[in-house]
Amino acid sequence: MAKREFAEKALSPWMSKEGPDKDVVLSSRIRVARNLRSSPFPLLSTPAQSKDVMEQLLSVAESGRLNGLGELPTYRLEELTELEKLVLVEKHLISPALAGESRNGALILARNEDVSIMINEEDHLRIQCLYPGFQIREAWEYASKIDDIFEESVDYAFDEKYGYLTSCPTNVGTGIRASVMMHLPALVLTGQINRILSAVTQVGLAVRGLYGEGSEATGNLFQVSNQITLGQSETEIIDNLYSVARQIIGHEKAARERLLSTDSRPRIEDRIRRSYGILSYAGIMDSKEAAQRLSDVRLGVHLGLLPEANPEVLNELLVSTQPGFLQQTFGEALTPEQRDMKRAQMIRSRLATGA
């Protein structure tokens, strides 16, 4: 079987575009949860009911009603291999929940992978829009357009008092999750990160790792998102996240300036160049060490201490060194030890070519 488009390259096309504050914010994401009024929610639906929901929602894309948004191929999860589903998870295009339960699950995916629409995950419909850099308002405007198209085509489960109804009570109301993926190495190195993140949680926001709820913040990557969906409008949710994220960006940039202007500069520069050297020559590299070393090098690029490293390659390696993509790339099942060797091999190769 030929590789599907989404499995050919680790770097989604949208990620190669420039975005505001991209040195700190890797991406901005909106997720919209919706359910159909006419069918039980996924956790309670029968196979026949979930199949009917899948066909209704896929028909919106296949009928051309989304054509104004570009090409949006559809995929039924049962037609994908386990490895392809893992690659989709590693690229943040589907959730682990959808990958693990593919009964009448489906995906509508834009060619440049900035739009990912999941069907029969926790809710009937999950619309996701991804933008490079700090563009959370732009991501919401795009997601809202897609939501409007579906709402014109199907009857959503909606209550006048509570808003949009969802499987998880924490999503009831607007049904939106807005998040920004932030690289905050300077706040970690200067010991300010715990104070900053504690303040963030006090204003109704959540902080998670690279892969969302329950994941560890490896590589100094933190996902900051709203927790409240009920009792606030979409605009209030987006504005609150925007304001807090803007302050975090300011603190991170100030911390980076302090790293360059104090006596710690030689140690920071040594740390960055050591990480670059290890990545360039190591024969074995586990995923946690790779994430930390790549974080150091990425910081070096944005501090102007390591101009020879390509930031686009570093972003690509965040995905291409994950277990699923490694096995997809090398075309074979790999043991953990084999993955660590192949990961090091891939990193050495990409840093050497740098293009």
Residues at the binding site for ATP are 27-31, 92, 126, 177-181, 208-213
Q: How far is residue 110's CA from residue 119's CA, in Å, rounded to a whole number?
A: 14
Query: Which residues sit opposite 163 in a β-bridge?
Result: 159
E strand or H helix that includes residue 268 = helix 265-281
| DSSP 3-state percent helix, strand, coil across the chain (nearest 5) | 50, 15, 35
Q: How far is CA 145 from the centre of its chain?
A: 20
Q: How far is residue 16's CA from residue 31's CA, in Å, rounded to a whole number?
A: 21
User: DSSP assignment of 183-229, as one string?
Assistant: E-HHHHHTT-HHHHHHHHHTTTEEEEBTTBTT---GGGEEEEEE---
What are 54's two structure tokens?
A: 């899948």
E strand or H helix that includes residue 261 = helix 234-261
Buried b (16+ CB within 10 A) or exposed e, 237-262: bbebbbebbeebbebbeebbeebeee
List residues forming the annotated binding site. Answer: 27-31, 92, 126, 177-181, 208-213
